[in-house]
Amino acid sequence: MAANRLAPSAALVASVSQGAQQQELYDTRALQKLDSAHYMHPFTDHQELAAKGARVMVRGEGIYLWDSEGKKILDGMSGLWCVNVGYGRTSISEAVYRQMETLPFYNSFFNTTNVPAVRLAALLVELSPPQFNHVFFTGSGSEGNDTNLRMVRRYWELMGCPERQTIISRHNAYHGSTVAGSSLGGMGGMHAQGGLPVPGIVHIGQPNYVEAGRGMTEDQFGLAAAGWLEAKILELGADKVAAFIGEPVQGAGGVIIPPATYWPEIQRICDQYGVLLIADEVICGFGRLGAWFGSELMGIRPDLITFAKGVTSGYVPLGGVLVGDRVADVLIEKGGDFNHGFTYSGHPVACAAALENIRILLDERLVEQVAQSTGPYLKERFASLADHPLVGYADSCGFVAGLNLVRKKGAVVHDCEAFKPEQGVGMICRGYMFGNGMIMRAVGDRMIIAPPLVMTKAQIDEMIGKIRFCLDATLADLQARGWM
Ligand SMILES: *Cc1c(COP(=O)(O)O)cnc(C)c1O
């Protein structure tokens, strides 16, 4: 039913103003009906959504969310890997409000700038590894990776090597959902729709020890997996390769933590062949791994770093690229106009949110806390789940962690017996988690978390308790089906 836009009905006006009030009571069924009638969700099967109805989130505080039915939920995923400082931070909303009152928007084209964007650029340079002195702002991580693609190709044109165009990425990587982002990413399901990846992007295997490391130690496997990059460079010819891109720890691909030998060998190979190194730190940045940037932890010196998510803790969308001196110097000294940018590059409100978010991370020493106290505690408590009959393997790095659900445990991870993919055991487990007030995500049969960095040790205990309870419920269910 189309509304009359010139003379909107009282009901339509009321439904819009409802959002502005702090309503405590919601008509969940009505919202679900409107949702499935009109709202196309990202990465969603809409027939399934319509049948089940979406869960309506209405409020957040610290590490907890509340839905429209009043149910309290422990958010083990920080929204979508982003709410690093937790929900309900009044000082961020106040900073955003003040900036909106002062200057809600101005662009950074045509030789203009704004105060929060300048301050944030300078602060990010201070927090990042020494080779970074410049920042390019975007509205999201995907746009950051689009920027990387254009920037590295532009760099090689300016260097007099216009044939160095190919970017090497990895299977099962996630680099966003724009055409460039999803092409750089290595998700088979995304590539299967709409003719992706675009030309000039190729993929090698991911450093997934559980899947591909049989017969090797982790350290041997790390070197072997890095070797796939060298083999690909030699196959293509180094004079054709512009850059390699990777997440320090793969997030959406299932929290794949590479062996310690992997990244230093990748760095050595990039150095040897002059290939630019792009670290996609959209998840790993801003304390997620117990360091400001995951690159520092992995011992690499990337030329470009993509950031988003944790830079504002998701309160307002913001992303961008830290541009290392090797690239920035050439673009600035030889490049003239770089014909690239977004209306919302350096958006003053988003930058104000980021400044306050980073102040909180610094003031509350949250990065240090994850590195020295809560991160090690999570590692120990999460590893204790490996004694559960369903858990074949559990590991973590800072505040990301994952465990593999298996039908039968083995002496080494490669001897575990997996469930059949079509049984959808991960999704069954996720259902028990969600139903019991715990958000844990399933990637195949790997269950993953990325909790807010403010999570305390007592809250880690609470979370581990919930996870164990839901693993038990999943086990009982699978036994009842005769799958165990
Ligand atoms: C989420 C994510 C992106 C995409 O960011 P958007 O803000 O959703 O565009 C890119 N890279 C990584 C590693 C991500 O996790």
pLDDT of the residue at 15? 65
Q: What is the pLDDT of residues 347-356, one digit of tens each?
A: 999 999 999 9
pLDDT of the residue at 4? 65
Q: What is the pLDDT of residues 336-377, one digit of tens each?
A: 999 999 999 999 999 999 999 999 999 999 999 999 999 999
Locate the ligand 1 atom nearest the alpha carbon of residue 177 and give its number.
Answer: 9
pLDDT of the residue at 23? 52
pLDDT of the residue at 17? 60
Question: Ligand 1 test: best mutation among 83, 183, 280, 282, most atoms within 8 Å of CB?
Answer: 282
Question: Ligand 1 test: best mutation among 170, 175, 179, most atoms within 8 Å of CB?
Answer: 175
pLDDT of the residue at 9? 78
pLDDT of the residue at 448? 98
- Omega within 30 of 0 (cis) for the link into 376: no
Stated pTM of the model: 0.96
How far is Cα of residue 82 from the mean position of the Cα atoms in its chain? 7
Q: Count CB-CB contacts under 10 A for residue 231.
A: 11
Structural domains in the chain, sorted by start: 55-85+366-481 (3.90.1150.10), 92-363 (3.40.640.10)
Indicate which residue's Cα is closest to atom 6 of ligand 1. 141
Q: Provide the residue count of the chain.
A: 484
Locate the ligand 1 atom nearest the alpha carbon of residue 178 and give its number.
Answer: 9
Question: Which regions in the chain score pLDDT beneath 50?
Answer: 1, 20
Distance separating alpha carbons of residues 282 and 147, to the nearest angstrom:
14
Distance 282 CA to ligand 1 centre (A): 6
